[in-house]
Amino acid sequence: MAILHPFRALRPVPGKASEVACVPYDVINTEEAKALASGKPASFLHVIRPEIDLAEGTDEHADVVYEQGARNLQAFAASSDTVQEESASVYVYRLIMDGRSQTGIYGCVAVADYDNDIILKHELTRPVKEDDRTRHILEQQAHAEPVMLTFKDDPHIAAILSQTTEDEPLYDLVADDGVQHTIWRVDRPEPLVNLFGSIENLYVADGHHRCKAASRAAKQAPHQSEAAFFPAVLFPMDDMAIMAYNRIVKHLPEGPAAFLETLKASFDLAPVENPVPQKKGDICIYLDGHWYGMTLPPSAADSVVDALDVSRLSEHILSPMLGITDPRTDPNLDFVGGIRGTTDLVARVDRGEAELAVSMFPTSIQELVEVSDAGLLMPPKSTWFEPKLRSGLLVHLFSDATQDEVY
């Protein structure tokens, strides 16, 4: 059963929360991080993207980057703009985007649960990204950012969340993208901790590399008791929203016009005005300046993974027609999060960055759960969760973290 672990959060004082809070490290590159943090010395990007404070062109995996990140977190912790909680607790975190809300619990979960498949995964991780986050954790002696997990809805947990959100929040801010982030501190964490003791499984929604890095860091810091736990926001499944994760192909073997004829010879392809697929199995393709719609054939195999639209795309188009047999590593394939919309797909093709764009129908939360429960893995970039959590609001420290009793 799942472990929910209260922790003594390092956090900004309420008046500084909006200056500190930032997007997660993995949704932006170095240049984007530098632009977002420009003129914002309090931004938590200085901790999770410390290369922005170093000389132009510094390799983000250089030793000096990890050292800078540790210094920046130390400065953050020592600042009069932050405070560390005197007692361990958990929090309620609500996101509102475009009028839609999702509310979850912000606490720590156990590395042991991740290692023992109480926390179930649905994607493989890449060693280079594991190495990067593991080193940041060990250098900083902290988990700077939470992962996003989901669990099957529980009415008793829902009741506590509802009651908590009636109180005065600790933070209530609207980010630059219009998403509202509200956090409440739970005065008595014991009831939630006990209820999670009855939850059979948690599921990784967003943050596979941070989960794996937390596991690796715990093994390298066995004498740091808090290294055995890492921060997560746990949302009920009914609250979760998944966007499509779209694809672009950079080069077509015989060019766009010839590939269009190849597709037409194999599939029932028709021009469409709406480039967003309306049901499972449908895709829309931007090729040679126009959008076309088609339905993917069923898979010849019968596993829950094979039935995914992203798998069917690989089986019927990417692999046999384009030679893209490993979507995880093939440099001819790239992925575009659904939050960027189909206009971004068109722009990339029209700019010459790609010759083909594919607009996908979103993977469902039920498909994610079925794959995870079966002990299987999805193809890379199968799900895009939105809205994203903000980093820097609640930080989990290893050192100087004499935690209260774990209930």
> In the predicted model, is pLDDT for residue 124 greater than 80?
yes
pLDDT value of residue 125: 85
Task: Assess contact for 69 and 51: CB atoms under 8 A.
Answer: no
Specify burial of residue 53 (Cβ count, 10 A radius: 0-12, 13-18, 19+).
Answer: middle
Average pLDDT of 180-204? 96
Q: What is the mean pLDDT of the chain?
A: 94
In tens, the pLDDT along 164-181 reads 999 999 999 999 999 999
Task: Assess contact for 290 and 272: CB atoms under 8 A.
Answer: no
In tens, the pLDDT along 269-286 reads 999 999 999 999 999 999
Q: Which residues contact 88 (CB under 8 A, 6 or more apart)?
A: 6, 7, 8, 189, 403, 404, 406
Average pLDDT of 323-339? 93
In tens, the pLDDT along 33-60 reads 999 999 999 999 999 999 999 999 999 9
Nearest partner of 95 among 175, 178, 182, 184, judged by Cα: 182
Tally the residues of the chain: 407
CA 2 to CA 223: how far, in whole Å?
Answer: 23
C-alpha pair distances (Å), 311 with each of 242, 277, 333, 381: 17, 16, 14, 11
Q: Which residues contact 300 (CB under 8 A, 6 or more apart)?
A: 306, 315
Give the residue extent of every domain in the chain: 4-241+387-397, 243-385
* Residue at token pair 């440099």: 331
Q: Which fold has domain 243-385?
A: 3.30.1760
pLDDT value of residue 372: 93
- Binning pLDDT at 50, 70 and 90, where does residue 404 land? very low
pLDDT value of residue 3: 97
pLDDT value of residue 401: 41
